[in-house]
Structure 1
Amino acid sequence: MDIEKWTKLGVEVATEYGLKILGAIIIWIIGSWVIRKLIGGTRAVMTKRGFDESLQKFLLNLIGWVLKILLILVILSQLGIETTSFAAILAAAGLAVGLALQGSLGNFAGGVLLMIFKPIKIGDLIEAQGEIGVVKEIEIFTTKLIGLSNKEIIIPNGALSNGNIVNYSTEGTRRVDLTIGVGYDSDIKKTKEVLMNVLTSNPKVISDPAPTVNVSELADSSINFAVRPWCKTEDYWAVFFESTENIKEALDAAGIEIPYPHQVEIHKNE
């Protein structure tokens, strides 16, 4: 065995690849440190701007994996391994995943938009996609509502972000719209006074904006009044039901008739 020959070959191999391996190790150490700093800086910016915690975790993990893959490609290139094929494989895999998950990616993008621009937040009463409910949770792909009958409603974020959203909680107050009909024999001024007294005597009805009572229509069999009390958002249904009941009792006490369909029979004597 030619020991000198093998020793010389070993030194050449160690010289050629040892420097590359050492360079790869240095690149990994420096690259990992840079990635940690970038992740930390990104997390600080997201926290300062009030990004949702679940969105932060998802985006930071995504950014971390992308940077680590790029770092691995750089290290492979440093070791003399052709990385073009790896890049092509990753691009093809990304395209295939994107095509297979078009709907999910749309929902993900919608979730990101909801968490960044915050048109809704947890606890808001909203109407969207034909559903009404209180926002329970905003996730990456879906948003969960609690419906008025305590049912859970799950709406894809893609549809939610691209559709109309009515947020009843943003302003903090809501107007209750009631239509009350009385008979044509009723005194309009007295009726308005009775209706207004019902509204102003309810402690849940706020004074600013002030409640209003106005004649809205001269219908076929009734004079219709537009009764419009304002209240806090959380008191909406209480004011709606209490006002409806109290108005009926007050009109009865005042002798004001609420008309209902009548059938008149005419008998002709021969």
Structure 2
Amino acid sequence: MMDMQSMQTFLSTTVSDLAVKILAAVAFWIVGRWLIGRVIAVMQAAMNRNAVDPTLTKYLGSIVAITLNITLVLGILGYFGIQTTSFAAMLAGVGVAIGAAWSGMLGNFAAGAFMLVLQPFKVGDFVTIGGVTGTVRELGLFGTTLLTPDNVQTIVGNGKAFSDTIQNFSSMPVRRVDRTAQLAGSVDPLDAIARFKAAVAQIPNVATSPAPEVNLLDFNLVGCVISVRPYTHTDHYWQVYFDTNEAIARVAKEAGWPAPTPSAIHHIVPAA
């Protein structure tokens, strides 16, 4: 009877202690996560006040957040009596086995560090990296987050982004919009060039320096081909693109030009 009572007392005491530790660990985790969030927010706010580059701000914020979360986990494990030195030794042993799986992650981390130093792009730039085109939202520890023109969030691994061709459409003050106008053979190309120049100059957000380029581009069986190339800031690219198309159509309608249609030449050879 005493043995059963002692066992019940032991179990109740052990369960009570374990429950207290679990509740304390949960409390530590919640409070710790809240404090980490506050630290990151204060750090990023201070960096923003000092006009630190947003890309660097988010990258350092990710590093500090991961470091503090690891410290929090180790602290909770220590509270449960788990030797963190033994835990670290175990991780080191397991790390050898999973090193191959982590090699890609470490490569992405290193590429992110290089991009942070070299700065081929920054947050807010419109770029093409790793075959994906969009606006940079975040340069993370292992991947770069883009928002594509069709409003899809896409993450490209930093290793792929750094090893592939990077096109930054925001690095220059303006970029060129390339459009062409096919004319019928009866249309005077010099008159068309003058009309297109006047029409493009009226389009909002078209840069005056460099000035829009309107030139005789090519000849074909239909007639002449005119290139219409205004410049604009990348934020207004699609607006200028579509407005240029509308200006070409409007000029052709107002001038009364015939529709460009292929012409066929028939040679009649008399019989011998």
Shift of 1:263: 8.5
Shift of 1:262: 6.8
Shift of 1:223: 0.6
User: Which residue is equivalent to 2:228?
Assistant: 227
User: Which residue is equivalent to 2:241?
Assistant: 240
Report SS of the residue matched to 2:150.
Answer: coil
Pick from 57, 60, 63 the counterpart of residue 56 of structure 1.
60
1:121 equivalent to 2:125? Answer no
Q: Deviations over 1:126-171 (max 9, x none)?
A: 1122221111111111111111111111111110011101100111
CA distance in 2, matches of 1:150, 1:238: 17
Contact 2:221 2:263 in 1 (8 A): no
Q: Answer with 215-224 or 88-97: which moved more.
A: 88-97
Unmatched segments (≥5 aa) in structure 2: 1-42, 71-86, 267-272
TM-score, normalization: structure 2?
Answer: 0.65
Counterpart residue identity of residue 53, structure 1: T
- Per the alignment, do residues 120 and 208 of structure 1 end up closer, same or farther by CA in structure 2, a change over 3 Å counting? same
Shift of 1:201: 1.5
TM-score, normalization: structure 1?
Answer: 0.65
**Percentage of identical aligned residues:** 31
Runs of 4+ deviating beyond 4 Å: 47-51, 57-62, 86-94, 261-265
User: Which residue is equivalent to 2:102?
Assistant: 101
1:251 equivalent to 2:262? Answer no
Counterpart residue identity of residue 149, structure 1: D
1:1-270 superposed matches below 5 A: 52-57=56-61, 92-261=93-262
CA distance in 2, matches of 1:87, 1:104: 20
- Per the alignment, do residues 136 and 55 of structure 1 end up closer, same or farther by CA in structure 2, a change over 3 Å counting? closer
CA distance in 1, matches of 2:109, 2:261: 53
Unmatched segments (≥5 aa) in structure 1: 1-42, 66-85, 266-270
CA distance in 2, matches of 1:175, 1:254: 26
Shift of 1:116: 2.1
- Per the alignment, do residues 262 and 94 of structure 1 end up closer, same or farther by CA in structure 2, a change over 3 Å counting? same
Task: Give the length in aligned residue pairs.
Answer: 211
- Per the alignment, do residues 151 and 90 of structure 1 end up closer, same or farther by CA in structure 2, a change over 3 Å counting? closer
Larger radius of gyration: 1
Contact 1:181 1:258 in 2 (8 A): no
User: Which residue is equivalent to 2:83?
Assistant: none
- Per the alignment, do residues 105 and 264 of structure 1 end up closer, same or farther by CA in structure 2, a change over 3 Å counting? same
Contact 1:54 1:140 in 2 (8 A): no
Contact 1:194 1:251 in 2 (8 A): no
Shift of 1:118: 1.4
Counterpart residue identity of residue 96, structure 1: A
Shift of 1:257: 2.9
Shift of 1:172: 2.4
Counterpart residue identity of residue 138, structure 1: L
Q: CA RMSD in A?
A: 3.5
Contact 1:98 1:105 in 2 (8 A): no
- Per the alignment, do residues 117 and 192 of structure 1 end up closer, same or farther by CA in structure 2, a change over 3 Å counting? same
Report SS of the residue matched to 2:207.
Answer: coil
User: Which residue is equivalent to 1:15?
Assistant: none
Shift of 1:114: 1.8
- Per the alignment, do residues 109 and 215 of structure 1 end up closer, same or farther by CA in structure 2, a change over 3 Å counting? same
CA distance in 2, matches of 1:258, 1:147: 36
- Per the alignment, do residues 210 and 54 of structure 1 end up closer, same or farther by CA in structure 2, a change over 3 Å counting? closer
CA distance in 2, matches of 1:219, 1:134: 39
- Per the alignment, do residues 58 and 238 of structure 1 end up closer, same or farther by CA in structure 2, a change over 3 Å counting? closer
